[in-house]
């Protein structure tokens, strides 16, 4: 982790858990690391930029098999998602370098280090872990419901259609049909609704659907960004590197997906 991403070796834990468990597990672990003094503020910002990812259950199961009806598409999206994540992590190794020495910063937070687990406090640790997990689940579900309602209001009032008109010139420049505009706006607001809308658009060039979903999966949407903000704000971690990192990850994921679809013929489902 140190030579490639310029973060402590403990950063491997949120990196792996962020990939396996999906949003927002990576950010939650990094916030705990910062609060416990395991990493500095700069290292937490580097970690937060690439350790918070969408999980294989959602990408392969829901998007690939459930929406595109193709396992290979789900695996492709997951591979490009991870490649984009690694690329962003490598680029962020230079984020805020040359700051205050790491040892001095860790000494400031040494008093927040947790006590060791023993049989006497095992029950308390388990109870706190379960409550933390339940709170995180309710947090995720609450944001999804909230943004689903907001999207429905935008559709009913015509706001979504009006906003989508603003990005149509950009789509024309990228040679993307303007029929994707509302789906892209929806995905930028809330990931699950967005990828559902994009996947359902009928197009003989279905690779466009896959590439756009790759971008949305990498970016995550405003809903997930607010989930992360609610977690990182408690640890006083800036949300700026996360937003920059997710924009870069979405762009790299779309680019890698485009390369794979045009390199390996068996992955391209275009008619």
The position carrying tokens 């468990």 is 21
Which DSSP letter does residue 10 get? G
Q: Output the pLDDT for position 45.
A: 92
pLDDT band at 203 (very low <50, low <70, confident <90, very high): confident
Other C-beta atoms lying within 10 Å of the C-beta of residue 108: 11
pLDDT band at 118 (very low <50, low <70, confident <90, very high): low
Compute the average pLDDT of residues 231-242: 89
Give the pair of three-digit tokens for residue 69: 């009806």
Compute the average pLDDT of residues 223-231: 89
Give the pair of three-digit tokens for residue 239: 């949300």
The answer, yes or no, to whether residue 123 has pLDDT greater than 60, is yes
Domain parsing of the chain, residue ranges: 2-112+125-267
User: For residues 183 and 151, what is the distance between their CA atoms, to the nearest angstrom?
Assistant: 11
Q: Output the pLDDT for position 197.
A: 92
The position carrying tokens 């909230």 is 146
Compute the average pLDDT of residues 183-200: 92
- Identify which of 192, 195, 252, 249 has the alpha carbon closest to the alpha carbon of residue 223: 192
Q: Output the pLDDT for position 271.
A: 64
Which residues, 6 or more positions from 49, have their beta carbon under 8 angstroms from its beta carbon? 88, 89, 92, 95, 241, 242, 244, 245, 246
The answer, yes or no, to whether residue 119 has pLDDT greater than 60, is yes
Q: Output the pLDDT for position 117.
A: 60
pLDDT band at 78 (very low <50, low <70, confident <90, very high): very high
């Amino acid at each position: 982790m140190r030579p490639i991403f310029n973060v402590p070796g403990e950063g491997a834990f949120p990196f792996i858990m962020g990939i396996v468990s999906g949003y927002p597990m990576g950010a939650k672990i990094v916030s705990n690391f910062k609060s416990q003094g395991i990493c500095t503020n700069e290292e937490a910002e580097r970690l937060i930029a690439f350790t918070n990812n969408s999980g294989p259950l959602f990408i392969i199961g829901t998007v690939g098999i459930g929406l595109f009806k193709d396992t290979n598409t789900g695996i492709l999206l997951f591979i490009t998602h991870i490649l984009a994540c690694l690329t962003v992590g490598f680029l962020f190794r230079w984020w805020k370098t040359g700051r205050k020495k790491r040892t001095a910063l860790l000494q400031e937070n040494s008093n927040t280090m947790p006590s060791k687990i023993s049989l006497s406090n095992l029950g308390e640790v388990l109870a706190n872990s379960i409550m933390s997990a339940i709170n995180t689940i309710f947090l995720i579900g609450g944001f999804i419901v909230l943004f689903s309602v907001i999207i429905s209001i935008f559709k009913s009032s015509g706001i979504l259609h009006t906003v989508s008109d603003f990005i149509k010139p950009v789509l024309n420049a990228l040679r993307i049909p303007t029929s994707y505009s509302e789906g892209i706006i929806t995905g930028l607001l809330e990931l699950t609704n967005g990828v559902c809308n994009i996947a359902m658009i009928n197009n003989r060039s279905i690779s466009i659907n896959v590439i756009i979903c790759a971008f949305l999966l990498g970016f995550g949407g405003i809903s997930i960004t607010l989930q992360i903000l609610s977690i990182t704000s408690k640890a006083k971690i800036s949300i700026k590197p996360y937003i920059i990192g997710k924009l870069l990850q979405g762009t790299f994921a779309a680019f890698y997906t485009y390369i794979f679809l045009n390199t390996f013929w068996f992955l391209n489902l275009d008619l």
